[in-house]
Amino acid sequence: MDAVERRAEKRVHPPGDAVLEFALWPAPAAAPARLPIAELGRPAASRRSGCRLTVADISVLGIGLTLDAPTAALEALASAPAFFLYLRLREYRPQTEGELLSLFFHAATARLTRSDGRLQAGLRFLRLGRGSPFDKALEFVDVSRFGAPGLASWIDAVVRGELRPDHDPAPGLNLDRLLDEPCVSGPLPAQGQDSPP
């Protein structure tokens, strides 16, 4: 196993508030190369329809999740060989333009367990959907081997956040914050005529 494969299999448990929005649709085993959103239709389960999704773990290659939903939604998903999964995640990566990371996957069901009002699933990401710049459609790219790059950097940021100490920083000097120190970041002296250049 090479370094890329080891990183791809790294599974993390994201913070409880990481998933801001989600939607699930039953999908065929093979993803289309292109999917107009009119054909996608309404999701079988989503946060907006009152369903609850808990992410047990996530990697760039797959996700373990628990869905609490009405019986009709669970029945539609329980027999599907694959799902379309939309996730809008809270952004943890530094220096990102937006506050959200939105992902759309075609994911094969590796494991499904259904109980009263609940579906537990292990999904393997096969294709990543991207919005078409020309019309209202999703275009899919293969991510089954190496995963989605945006998700990889998001997972790295989650791990870095978990490794940070919970206590206040030490009173010493942290070079990452050197220019925030009061004695270094104080006001600039006024440039008068008597000041040397």
> Is residue 7 a contact partner of residue 13, using CB atoms and an 8 Å limit?
no
Rounded Cα–Cα distance for residues 161 and 157 (Å): 6
Query: pLDDT value at position 26?
Result: 97
Question: What pTM was computed for the model?
Answer: 0.75
Task: Give the type of residue at 18.
Answer: A
Q: Which residue has the higher pLDDT, 182 or 189?
A: 182
> Is residue 46 a contact partner of residue 22, using CB atoms and an 8 Å limit?
yes
Q: Is the pLDDT of residue 24 over 50?
A: yes
pLDDT tens per residue, range 120-153 = 999 999 999 999 888 999 999 999 998 888 888 8
What is the DSSP-derived secondary structure letter of residue 189? P
Query: pLDDT value at position 158?
Result: 83
Q: Is the pLDDT of residue 166 over 50?
A: no
Burial class of residue 101 (count of CB atoms within 10 Å of its CB; 0-12, 13-18, 19+): buried
pLDDT tens per residue, range 51-99 = 999 999 999 999 999 999 999 999 999 999 999 999 999 887 766 655 7
Q: Is the pLDDT of residue 34 over 60?
A: yes
**Where in the chain are the domains?**
3-160
pLDDT band at 167 (very low <50, low <70, confident <90, very high): very low
Give me the residue label for tokens 């006001």. 187
What is the DSSP-derived secondary structure letter of residue 12? B
